Amino acid sequence: MSEVYHRPDETFYVAPKEPPPSRRPPALTIGPVGWLRKNLFSSVSNTLITVITVGLMAAFFYELVTWSVAKAEWNVVNNTMRLMMVGLYPVDQIWRIELIAILLVFLSGLGLGVWGGNARGFFIIALMIIIAALFIPIGAEKIEPPPIRFLITPTDAIGPVVFVGDKDDTVRLSVEPIDDNAIANETSPFVGFIENSPGSSSSRALWNNAKAQVVAGTLDLTNYNLQLTVQLLDRSGKVLDEQLSTPTRRRVNFEFKLPADGWYYVQVLRDETSEAIYETVDGVQLPIAPARTLPNTGYAWIRIDGVDTMSSQVADVEQRTKTYGEVPAIQCPSAAECRRLLLEENTRFEGARSFSAFLKTQLDPFLQEIIVSLVVGFAVMLAAYSIGNFAKQSRNPSSKKAVSRVTIIGWIIFFPLSWILLSGFKDPDSVHPFLRLPEVAQSLWGGLILTIVLTFVSLTVAFPIGILLALGRRSKLPIISIFCILFIEVVRGVPLITILFMAKFIVPYFAKSMSDTELLIRLLVGLTLFTAAYNAEIIRGGLQIIPKGQIEASQALGLNPFATNAFIVLPQALRAVIPAMMSQSVSLFKDTTLVSIVGLFEFLGMIELIVNGQQIYRPYQREAYLFVGVIYFIISYIMSSLSRRLEESGAGTVRKMRKA
Amino acid sequence: MSEQSNSNGSGYIIECQDVNKWFGEFHVLKDINMKVKEREVVVVIGPSGSGKSTLIRCINRLEEHQEGKILVDGIELSNDLKNINAIRRETGMVFQSFNLFPHLTVMQNITLAQRYVRRRPRRDAEDMARQLLQRVGIPEQANKYPGQLSGGQQQRVAIARALAMQPKIMLFDEPTSALDPEMIKEVLDVMKELARSGMTMLVVTHEMGFAREVADRVIFMDSGRIVEIGTPEHFFENPSHERTKLFLSQIL
Ligand SMILES: Nc1ncnc2c1ncn2[C@@H]1O[C@H](COP(=O)(O)OP(=O)(O)OP(=O)(O)O)[C@@H](O)[C@H]1O
Ligand SMILES: [Mg+2]
């Protein structure tokens, strides 16, 4: 039969009357191994490239993950979460930001429900919820000041830790072993107090080794004797309380109630006597530390609870000075020791911890912090999704329409509403009691919320301006086109940071009326104009790909230039430039970091402030910046995923357009 | 309708008097004089580059002429935007490359200008669109996008889109030359039906069969000037001008 259909060797050919039946395409039968061979190991050089690349990636991730699990101290993230997220936004007003986060999640869920979503949609929303959940656990009244931990190494004690306290604040000091397990479980052996053997320098390996021996029970700790005196002093240097720590005690703790508002500091002294120490209990002298034969060295943590971290913003420093007086001038035990404290290597200790210790001491506190908001976030999302989905599935088409209209209106009022919620009213008594939100000065906004405000306000305002500039640049009226070209080229020719400096310093100088305007507003104007200029060029590119025939057809139908632009040119041009616009938006999102240079502390600026400005966090820059990177990446990923969805959605997508 | 348009007394709906146009230095239209009566079908033919498209595009001001006078329905084309808009409302145009709006459905393509320019309520505009789609033979395609239609269907949508404005004049610029032979016929059938219904049509085409069958008069252009105007019989059987004879001998 088949040779009737196919006779390639003949010069003349007439096909049979009936065409052959259609067949299914041949199945791909290579399987996973075949796929690997075909795609990764097809030749020697490809195999080499595959192996090297995979090897490098594996090595990098192995390092990163093991470090993150076994060594990193993520408490820096946990402890400073509020500052990183909302800056100095008043704690009792943070519920407004929580409300905004919930609204955002609700609207996203509603949209996903009504307009339908795929797996990626849900994934993006889950990411959004995680980000939203970082904005402080719902219902938390005041954040407990995080414990502050200082490392004591064989060569260092610690310099004075300065803090301000109010009358009747309770400060807790304790000396703890380093092992995370031991911290989580108070009964574990006192492995922190491990003496350095004479001659050899302190090393991690040594400590790990000793720790293993202690756990195995082969090392007797009675001979090891890190002896420290922990003192709490007031600003005049008077010792308010002190406690001796010795190896035989499980844990040294003491609590102290501060007598008055003011400056205090904690100081740790190394006890250099070599005699045994005794304590009198019930009239009997008991040795609590044996006589020392080795130098007084070893590792331990000093932990301080109940002390708030200090902001180094100028206004806050001034405020602090007014309330508590000048920072006390404190003499360090030795100048070298003070200075050495600032070095990461000398204050940061990296032992190795097990995975379960990681879960218990690193992940668990973090999860506890955000678990409530995570659950609430997912609940809100599910509720909204169900409402949307119910409307979508319902027989009555008008209910779908109603819900989708509500969603759109919701998104439209979401942005101004958020702004009002964030800033409150100057004169709260003048508005309806229901809306009586006290004003929160914009100088207090900070952290991630400020980054988000900067990004979205300048994006939404820059969008229409960009369109106008792009159209203006093509205008037939020379004045308009020259103005637009000049504006675009000047703005694009100047670095963003220069524009921000101009907004900060130069504009108020020329326009006196601007000098009272909040710095945030001035910087927003700068960012907006900057983005508008770039958007204009992107949109102009989109306008150029619209065939002339489209405009002619529109004119021939009698549509005026405005309608031609609004209905024919812009919808096509804008859709074509969604990817470019989105990448511009993502890069703006990242560029907002520059405002920290001119004095607003957005996300990155806040972290910088925390890890550079506060001694206690300085050793943990690695963790802090890694966290920053992850958050920036997640948000950028959300933004670009949304743009891909936008591209694929709706009528006459780009691909359909190309085909026409 | 005819009373009104004849109110200027001349009886012609399109009049070109000594029209000259240049593209830069290039003299593309030279002393064009021609008139089209109401309900007349006039076919413009000529070799490539002879200025046919330019002429037809001058009539609804997609191109601007520099000398002479063009009157459409008694209104003179000038830089006055009001006049241009008035004339564009009375003339529909169909392009060689369809120029449908790819981001709008067929229905939206046809209703957009009705609603925005004619200010017709949505329901009326959609009724009109459905009628016209019926008329051009593709009533079932209303909710598709242009990219989902064949070339012939797209061109028929384009005709429906122009007709929806209820123009007095239809201008066609080589409406079939971007189409496969099988689709040419369906578009020509629509145009023939339109001609029979009494529409005034000015058609640039290379379809000699169409010209012979439908045209009242044929205009032959060469290098920017009109060489010959005549009835199809006269033009095809017994052309007067040497250039016309040469042209016909090459294409027939
Ligand atoms: N925008 C323009 N600028 C400069 N020259 C042009 C322009 N449009 C057309 N021309 C020139 O004017 C002449 C006439 O062009 P036109 O498009 O009217 O010819 P045509 O008769 O329609 O030809 P065809 O049958 O190929 O469509 C051509 O030589 C063309 O190169
Ligand atoms: Mg042409």
Residue B190 pLDDT grade (very low, low, confident, very high; cuts 50, 70, 90): very high
Mean predicted lDDT score pLDDT of chain B: 91
Q: Tell me which of A458 and A31 has the higher pLDDT.
A: A458
Asked if A556's CB is within 8 angstroms of B91's CB, the reply is yes
**Residue A466, pLDDT above cutoff 90:** yes
Phi, psi values for residue A261, rounded to 5°: -65, 140
Reported residue count of chain B is 252
Which of A294, A290, A263 minimizes the C-alpha distance to A196?
Answer: A294
* Domain boundary, last residue among A352, A383, A414: A352
Q: Please report whether residue A77 resides in a domain.
A: no
If asked whether residues A303 and A429 sit together in one domain, one would say no
Which residues of A are less than 8 Å from B95 in CB distance? 549, 552-553
The residue from A297, A325, A352 where one domain ends is A352
pLDDT of res. B4? 45
Q: What distance, in Å, lies between the first and last C-alpha atoms of chain B?
A: 39
pLDDT at position A201: 44
Domain assignment of residue A128, yes or no: yes
Helices A603-613 and A621-648, interaxial angle, to 10°?
A: 170
B51 lines ligand 1 (CB under 6 A): yes
**In terms of pLDDT, which residue wins out, B249 or A79?**
B249
A656, B148: Cβ pair inside 8 Å? yes
Question: CB of A84 within 8 A of CB of A370?
Answer: no
CB B228 within 8 A of CB B220: yes
**Smallest CA–CA distance from A575 into chain B, residue:** B103
Q: Please check whether residue B82 touches A, CB under 8 A.
A: no
- Is there a domain that residue A73 lies in? no
Stated pTM of the model: 0.75
- In eight-state DSSP terms, residue A438 is B
Pairs across A and B, CB distance < 8 A: 83
Q: How far is the C-alpha of A536 from the C-alpha of A530, rounded, in Å?
A: 10
Q: Report residue B17: phi and psi, to 5°.
A: -120, 115
Percent of chain B with pLDDT over 70: 96
**Dihedral sign computed on CA atoms, order B138, B144, B146, B149:** negative
If one residue of B23, B207, B220, B251 were mutated to test the ligand 1 pocket, choosing by the most ligand atoms within 8 A of its CB, it would be B23
ipTM of the complex: 0.92
Is B103's CB within 8 Å of A553's CB? no
Is the distance from CB of A85 to CB of A134 less than 8 angstroms? yes
* Chain B interface disruption, residue of A552, A557, A646, most B CBs within 10 A: A557
Q: Is residue A80 part of a domain?
A: no
**Residue A599 and residue A468 share a domain:** yes
Q: Is A559 on the interface with B (CB under 8 A)?
A: yes
Q: Is pLDDT larger for residue A310 or for residue A640?
A: A640
- The whole-angstrom separation of Cα B7 and Cα A163 is 96
Among B54, B57, B63, B99, the strongest candidate for a mutation testing the A interface, having the largest count of A CBs within 10 A, is B99
The count of domains in chain A is 4
Asked whether residue A71 is assigned to any structural domain, the reply reads: no
SS3 A388: helix
Ramachandran class of A265: left when φ > 0, alpha when ψ lies in -120 to 50, beta otherwise:
beta
Q: Which atom of ligand 1 is nearest to the CA of B221?
A: 21
Name the residue facing B102 among A552, A558, A572 (closest C-beta). A572
B177 lines ligand 1 (CB under 6 A): no
Q: Tokens for A76?
A: 């820096």
| Residue ranges making up the domain that contains A169 | 148-352
Say yes or no for a CB contact (<8 Å) between B145 and A660: yes
Cα-to-centroid distance, A561 and ligand 1 (Å): 25
Given an 8 Å threshold on Cβ–Cβ distance, is A651 in contact with B99? no
Residues A603 and A463 in one domain: yes
**Closest C-alpha among A487, A483, A465 to residue A475:** A483
Q: Are residues A530 and A577 in the same domain?
A: yes
Task: Read off the pLDDT of residues A157-207 as tens digits, 9 standing for 90 and up.
Answer: 556 777 778 888 888 877 765 554 444 444 333 334 444 444 444 444 555
Least confident of A10-19, A538-547, A556-565, B188-197: A10-19
Q: Tokens at residue A174, please?
A: 């304790």
* CA dist., res. A360 & res. A367, Å (int): 10
Predicted confidence (pLDDT) per residue in A238-249, tens digit: 888 887 766 555
Nearest CA-CA partner of A301 in A400, A514, A157: A157
Q: Is residue B85 less than 8 Å (CB to CB) from chain A? A: yes
On whether both A290 and A358 belong to a single domain, the answer is: no
Identity of the residue in B105, B112, B147 whose CB atom sits nearest the CB atom of A657: B147
Residues A337, A357 share a domain = no
CA-closest candidate to residue B28, choices B224, B221, B227, B225: B224
The atom of ligand 1 lying closest to the CA of B24 is: 4
Which of B19, B45, B54 gets mutated to test ligand 1 (max ligand atoms within 8 A of its CB)? B54
Residue B119 to residue A346: CA distance in whole angstroms:
79
Shared domain check, A444 and A430: no
Determine the average pLDDT of the residues in B182-200: 93
Q: Is the pLDDT of residue A293 over 80?
A: no
Is the separation of the CB atoms in A381 and A106 below 8 Å?
A: yes
Say yes or no: CB of residue B23 within 6 Å of ligand 1.
yes
Q: Is residue A169 part of a domain?
A: yes
Check: CB of residue A385 under 8 Å from CB of residue A113.
yes
Q: Which residues of B touch A560 (CB under 8 A)?
A: 85
A543 and A611 in a single domain? The answer is yes
**Residues A201, A60 within the same domain:** no
pLDDT single digits (tens) B117-165 = 999 999 999 999 999 999 999 999 999 999 999 999 999 999 999 999 9
- Using pLDDT thresholds of 50, 70 and 90, give the confidence band for residue A255: confident
Q: Among residues of chain A, what percentage have pLDDT more than 90?
A: 23
Nearest to A150, CA basis, from A39, A305, A284: A305
Q: How far is A517 from chain B (nearest CA, A)?
A: 43
- Res A312 pLDDT > 60: no
Q: Kindly give the distance from the C-alpha atom of residue A46 to the centroid of ligand 2, in angstroms, as a whole number.
A: 54
Range from A65-74, A274-283, A355-364, B209-218 that averages highest in pLDDT: B209-218
Phi, psi of B21 (to 5 degrees): -145, 145
Rounded to whole angstroms, the Cα distance separating B32 from B70 reads 10
Ligand 2 ion: residues within 5 Å (CB): B 53
Q: DSSP for chain B?
A: -HHHHGGGSS-EEEEEEEEEEEETTEEEEEEEEEEEETT-EEEEE-STTSSHHHHHHHHTTSS--SEEEEEETTEEP-S-HHHHHHHHHHEEEE-TT----TTS-HHHHHHHHHHHTS---HHHHHHHHHHHHHHTT-GGGTTS-GGGS-HHHHHHHHHHHHHTT--SEEEEESTTTTS-HHHHHHHHHHHHHHHHTT-EEEEE-S-HHHHHHH-SEEEEEETTEEEEEE-HHHHHHS--SHHHHHHHHHH-
Residue A84 lies in a domain: no
Among A332, A352, A372, the domain-final residue is: A352
CA B97 – ligand 2 centroid, Å? 11
Mark yes or no for CB contact A558/B146 under 8 Å.
Answer: no
B117 touches chain A (CB under 8 A): yes
Establish if A83 belongs to a structural domain. Answer: no
Q: DSSP per residue over A328-344, as a string? A: PP---S-HHHHHHHTSH
Mean of pLDDT values over A507-536: 83
Taking the CA of residue B55 as reference, the ligand 1 atom at the shortest distance is 18
Is there a single domain that holds both residue A418 and residue A455? no
Short-list A132, A85, A82, CA closest to A107: A132
A649 touches chain B (CB under 8 A): no
- Statement to judge: residues A293 and A159 lie in one domain: yes
Tell whether A137 and A181 lie within a shared domain: no
Residue predicted with more confidence, A587 or A327 = A587
Ranked by mean pLDDT, the top range of A200-214, A222-236, A329-343 is A222-236
